[in-house]
Amino acid sequence: MKPATEEIREVVARALDEDLGSGDVTSRAVVPAAARARATLLQKQPGVLFGLKAAAEALRQAAELEGAGEVAFDPMVVEGQWREDVPATAARVSGSARALLAGERTALNLLGHLSGIATLTARFVRAVEGTGARILDTRKTTPGLRLLEKAAVAAGGGVNHRIGLDDAILIKDNHAELAGGVGEAVRRAREAEPELELEVECRDEAEVREAIAAGADRLLLDNMDAEGLRRAVAIRDEAGGPPLEASGGVTLETARAIAETGVDLISVGALTHSAPSLDVSLKLEPAS
């Protein structure tokens, strides 16, 4: 999942509008308009860096708003790789001092947030390494930032679930209740959208069997304990059924035990709704 340049531009424009308002009054009062500066973008915590394009776009747009010419942004790292030896230089930047100051916080907010998601994802991927299970994200994203956040998950080694409500069918308990049961919900969905992947949430063994019999493409095992997951895996294996996805309250401490039950996928809402930001900073100095 790679957000298009236009999507990055739109996200950055909204963020800068929120932060700058009518302009950076402090820098305009203190820093001469002609002043130039160099800056070093630093990764200060171990983890996976992601979001340099968004950071560069924030500084570019800030320079445009200041009427200050171009900002040079030179990445010094490959995104998506775990870095342990920190602090380390992530990019070198140069341009109008006012522009760099105006765009600094927006650039760091985006980079730190997206890198935090990539880092937490990488920790989950490491936690289940060797089991064959893959880590999925969810739709529990920050409004307006979904594509960027899902791209960060992918950078951390995770797998993107559906992007929105229109690209796959996921029959949850409320859908099944309103349709008159899992089997009937699957039948209706197949009839309405035969080309879309169809996943069904299952809460117990009976629903697992019903969903497999109905021909679901994937089963979402919601909030089942380890024993329940193992029984669902056994039922699936016996029936030659579809991939199984475990979901609900998954943590770094429980992820491996869940993976070892034999499920194929583990979805983790915390990747996008609870990842702490990675510590990054921008150090400025006057250009000679």
Cα–Cα dist 245/248, whole Å = 10
Assess whether 74 carries a catalytic annotation: no
Say if residue 87 is preceded by a cis peptide, omega within 30 of 0: yes
**280-286 and 36-43 as β-strands: parallel, antiparallel, unpaired?**
antiparallel
Catalytic residue among 24, 66, 79, 201: 201
What is the dihedral angle through the alpha carbons of 170, 172, 178, 179, rounded to the nearest 10 degrees? 50
CB-based contacts of 234, cutoff 8 Å, min separation 6: none
CB atoms within 10 A of CB 263: 26
Cα–Cα dist 268/138, whole Å = 7
CB atoms within 10 A of CB 235: 17
Helix or strand (DSSP H, E) at 37: strand 36-43
Cα–Cα dist 70/54, whole Å = 16
CB-based contacts of 122, cutoff 8 Å, min separation 6: 47, 48, 82, 156, 157
Assess whether 191 carries a catalytic annotation: no
Catalytic residue among 36, 92, 172, 187: 172
Assess whether 2 carries a catalytic annotation: no
Assess whether 150 carries a catalytic annotation: no
Catalytic residue among 9, 92, 105, 231: 105
Q: Do 152 and 51 meet the contact criterion of CB atoms below 8 Å apart? A: yes
Assess whether 172 carries a catalytic annotation: yes
Catalytic residue among 64, 197, 217, 222: 222
The closest of 165, 174, 127 to 268, measured between CA atoms, is 127
Question: Would you name the residues annotated as active-site residues?
Answer: 105, 140, 172, 201, 222
